[in-house]
Structure 1
Amino acid sequence: MKDKEFFLMRSLMFVPAHNSKLMESASTRDADVLLLDLEDSVQPAENKPIARESIKKWIESGRFGNKKIFPRVNDRESGQLLKDIYQLTIEGIDGFMYPKAKNGDDIYFIDKLLETIEYEKGMPIGTFQLIPLIETTAAVLNAQEICKASSRVIAIAYGCEDFISDLGGIHDKEGQSLFTPRSIIAMAAKANNVIPIDTVHINVHDLDELEDNLKIAKILGFEGMMVLNPKEIPLVHQYFSPTDEEVKNANEILELAEAAKKEGKGVALVNGKFVGPPMIIAANKTIKKNNLIKNKT
């Protein structure tokens, strides 16, 4: 199994893969990751083979450039999963978003399915990564198990609408019903060195509401958000990119910590505050993310 590769996941945009107009539009957008959808937005089922062929055509054309591509496949009970995976384990696909992941067994299943196909196709084992989509009450409670189930798991993402339906709750304007599951998902991800991705913002034309959600997402530790409309991308990138001030502070922390180390001092001071290991870890993450953004542009 090859080492896990991390990259920018500030914005992950859903694109119905059977819709040629939207695929064309997606190729020109600045989303970090394209979630080429084979599941919910591809209806009726007769459109799913069209969507698979469309993804292959677009990948082979090279018109997605250096974008990271994660098709959202159908779940293991759909009768479509094997077709999705077998046809799309091709060069140019980085991995797959797996929907309706309930527990670690679901992820172990798709991990072994990918391993079998990689072996059959002569690809390195671990070529394709996974983003499980947490959409049920059981999945939220099993989030840590899902993260641990496979070394392919690079991120976990929260699907709030299916979760609220499963819960029998209310998607209230203040977001009270989402706060606890969002916290659990972010903590489970960070505890297992994977990236927490926040739920979509349904009211795509209300950018003020989107910004309110982004403020909470950043406080909770999310590193990215799934998006439905390209107009959301600039604001999402703004909130999940380090500010100039954050980069400046991170560099200062690392420089002073290194100077203190050379002088044999146990701690450094920045603006009257002790610089301990947690601040150094956070500063390194800020610089790494900022470098990824600079390299993208």
Structure 2
Amino acid sequence: MEHLFRSLMFVPAHNERLLNSASRSNADVLLLDIEDSVPGIDKQSARDNIIRYITDGIFKGRAVYPRINDRESGELLRDVYQLTIPGITGFMYPKSVKGDDIYFIGKLLETVEYEKGYPIGTFKLIPLIETTGAVMNIKDICMACSRVVAVAFGCEDYVTNLQGKHDLVGDSIFTARSLIALSARACGIQPIDTVHIKVHDLDDLERNLVISKKLGFEGMLVLNPKELELVHRYFSPTNEEVEWAAEMITLSNEAIHAGKGVAVKDNKFIGPPMVKMANNILQKNELVRNADKNIKK
């Protein structure tokens, strides 16, 4: 993992006030939107804003993934050609229905990279899963292109496509959330949970974060900076988890050096899965510490 995926915050790129606010936020990933939240008449100004803010160094050191328009929009080529510039980490691709969609955008990026002289694979991809078909094709989407580093769930379009109904406890999206997290992890991809629509209800956000963490999500899509503190708290290792991980690594190393092969803690074997989990926790904790240092600067 090159950077954290605890929070991925949408920012309408035609709105300079929100772009300025985003530049001061501590969101892990900035999703500079030129798709649904941007009217057709403002899409070029959104692209121009992104280029200007990146060129001026306003987002320097940040992970920036513009949400581009889909292949049926008539805007995709302009999005990709204009925004493949230094300072852009990759792109969120909306309305990903099957693996072919991601293969297509991957090849388009490859062509542009070749023409502009970038190393092939420079720009990464985050497919957005918004339909029932996409949920059923999630594994193909994750495996369609080596650029895919994460996959995110968009619940609003999904429920509409399902012809289901939102409910207070999230029963209508539970299966989709589970399948997305499960398939992404199986493919070595970071799963990102859906936005929390009721942005002012932080109690409900916390309830959803508990579920999200249990399901195995790495982070969450965010609509409002006020959500970031809770989101980061739930998707960052706790002090207890870090202490446990450090102890697991120490005991495992001591057992190996003593020729025991496996360590025992509280009458439980410390096997390879526990060691791997401990390493993951410590790696993520290091990323969190580095992110906190950068913010304090």
| Aligned residues of 2:60 and 2:87 also touching (Cα < 8 A) | no
1:272-296 per-residue CA deviation (whole Å, 9 max, x = no partner) reads 3211111111100000000011111
SS in 2 for 1:132: strand
Deviation of 1:66 (Å): 1.3
How is 1:103-118 mapped onto 2 (pairs within 5 angstroms)?
Answer: 103-118=98-113
Which residue of 5, 13, 37 maps to 1:17? 13
Q: For residue 61 of structure 1, what is the aligned residue in structure 2?
A: 56
Amino acid at match of 2:34: L
Q: For residue 207 of structure 1, what is the aligned residue in structure 2?
A: 202
Q: Does 1:183 align with 2:178?
A: yes
Q: Output the TM-score relative to the length of structure 1.
A: 0.97
Two-structure CA RMSD over aligned residues (Å): 0.7
Q: Does 1:134 align with 2:129?
A: yes
- Partners in 2 of 1:106 and 1:249 — Cα distance? 42
Which residue of 71, 75, 78 maps to 1:76? 71
Amino acid at match of 1:96: F
How is 1:136-285 mapped onto 2 (pairs within 5 angstroms)?
Answer: 136-285=131-280
Amino acid at match of 1:24: N
- Partners in 2 of 1:280 and 1:165 — Cα distance? 42
- Partners in 1 of 2:249 and 2:137 — Cα distance? 36
1:54-100 per-residue CA deviation (whole Å, 9 max, x = no partner) reads 00000001011311000000000000001000000000000000000
Q: For residue 23 of structure 2, what is the aligned residue in structure 1?
A: 27
Show structure 2 runs of 5+ residues with no match. 293-297
- Partners in 2 of 1:109 and 1:245 — Cα distance? 44
| Aligned residues of 2:150 and 2:189 also touching (Cα < 8 A) | yes
- Partners in 1 of 2:152 and 2:12 — Cα distance? 18
- Partners in 2 of 1:27 and 1:6 — Cα distance? 20
Show structure 1 runs of 5+ residues with no match. none
Deviation of 1:185 (Å): 0.3
- Partners in 2 of 1:236 and 1:270 — Cα distance? 32
| Aligned residues of 1:6 and 1:154 also touching (Cα < 8 A) | no
Deviation of 1:187 (Å): 0.7
Poorly superposed stretches of 4+, deviation over 4 Å: none
SS in 2 for 1:46: helix
Q: For residue 295 of structure 2, what is the aligned residue in structure 1?
A: none
Amino acid at match of 2:42: N
- Partners in 2 of 1:270 and 1:119 — Cα distance? 53
| Aligned residues of 1:118 and 1:125 also touching (Cα < 8 A) | yes
Which residue of 265, 268, 284 maps to 1:289? 284
- Partners in 2 of 1:287 and 1:145 — Cα distance? 30
SS in 2 for 1:27: helix
Number of residue pairs the alignment of both structures matches = 292
SS in 2 for 1:78: coil
